[in-house]
Amino acid sequence: MSESNNHLRDAFRAAGRRMTRQRRVVLRVLEESDGHLEAEAVYLRAMAHDTHVSLATVYRTLAVLKEMGLVEEHRLGEEHGHYEAVRKGPHYHFTCLGCGKVIEFDTPLVAQIEQELSARERVRVTGTHLHMSGYYAQCQTKTGGQSNNEK
Ligand SMILES: [Zn+2]
Ligand SMILES: [Zn+2]
């Protein structure tokens, strides 16, 4: 625990930022969750650790942590962001449109595509975002399949 705190302090120092209590709390909330939390969910959980935190602070803190590369934001097919702590390698997401469950997956095919693209177009790929969506079998029957009534 203290070791990871030192680690964090170094990361903040390197970025020329202070490790405030709010930043530590927000990061901890994301690390303790499965990730993919919306800002409001981060806020509710952060309140359990620190009652002084506000939703505006959480938004600001998430932006700082994202800029520092400690937090990733995924849209997951929605207008608002979902946040997760960067603690594992790159991975991709599938969202069930019925129940909202998010699956993480990885595949060597993505590295292959990146290599092919780099070689063909002479570019350096620094990030890949892949998001799939669809339905679990049981969610499909519940919603009666694809519906068009949602814009
Ligand atoms: Zn579902
Ligand atoms: Zn994820």
Specify whether the CB–CB gap between 18 and 12 falls below 8 A. yes
Cβ-Cβ contacts under 8 Å for 138 (sequence gap 6 or more)? 98
How far is ligand 1, taken at its centre, from the CA of residue 101, in Å?
6
How far is ligand 2, taken at its centre, from the CA of residue 106, in Å?
10
Span 51-101, pLDDT tens digits: 789 999 999 999 999 999 899 999 888 888 999 988 767 789 999 999 988
Span 114-135, pLDDT tens digits: 999 999 999 999 888 889 999 9
Cβ-Cβ contacts under 8 Å for 41 (sequence gap 6 or more)? none
Q: Are strands 92-96 and 131-134 parallel, antiparallel or unpaired?
A: parallel
At 70, give phi and psi (nearest 5°): -95, -20
Q: What angle do CA 93, 117, 134 make, to 5 degrees?
A: 25
If we measure between CA atoms, which residue out of 68, 63, 69, 61 comes closest to residue 45?
61
Specify whether the CB–CB gap between 27 and 71 falls below 8 A. yes
Q: Who has greater pLDDT, 24 or 141? A: 24
How far is ligand 1, taken at its centre, from the CA of residue 34, in Å?
17
Report the percent of the chain where pLDDT is more than 90: 51
